[in-house]
Amino acid sequence: MPSTTGKTIRGAARNRGAERAPLHADNRREWLAADPVHAATYLAAALETGDTGDLMQALRDIADARGGIAQLAEQTGLRRETLYRTLSTRGNPQLSSLLAILKANGLRLTVSV
């Protein structure tokens, strides 16, 4: 399945009731950093696409917006190189890494029906 990260995720974020997700990368960073709800909405929209690459890219966008990979490495105790690999569109993190990344960004994993 081709990656749909970007316009599709931002559109899905708007459809979930979030205020407008900016199209321009710099504005998107500000939007994601401004409120954890924005980051959660963006991540939920990435999950809705069903593409793991979209999820990893959304996590990377959130990490970049909230201080970058170096800061995330400090917060999670994971190596920068590991994070770069994990947060690529081909990333396949272990659950422990995913949970650490989410926690460092003020997010948590939940399951609902």
> Is residue 112 included in any domain, yes or no?
no
> Is residue 56 included in any domain, yes or no?
yes
Domain enclosing residue 37, as ranges: 7-104
Residue 113 pLDDT class (50, 70, 90 cuts) = confident
DSSP result, 43-69:
HHHHHHTT-HHHHHHHHHHHHHHTT-H
Q: Which two tokens stand for residue 19?
A: 């205020």
Q: pLDDT of 37-95, one tens digit each?
A: 999 999 999 999 999 999 999 999 999 999 999 999 999 999 999 999 999 988 898 99
pTM to 2 decimal places: 0.76
Q: Is residue 34 pLDDT above 80, yes or no? A: yes
> Is residue 109 included in any domain, yes or no?
no
Number of structural domains found in the chain:
1
Q: Is residue 2 pLDDT above 50, yes or no? A: no
> Is residue 85 included in any domain, yes or no?
yes
Which residue carries 């948590």 as its tokens? 108
CA atoms within 13 A on the CB side of 14: 10
> Is residue 97 included in any domain, yes or no?
yes
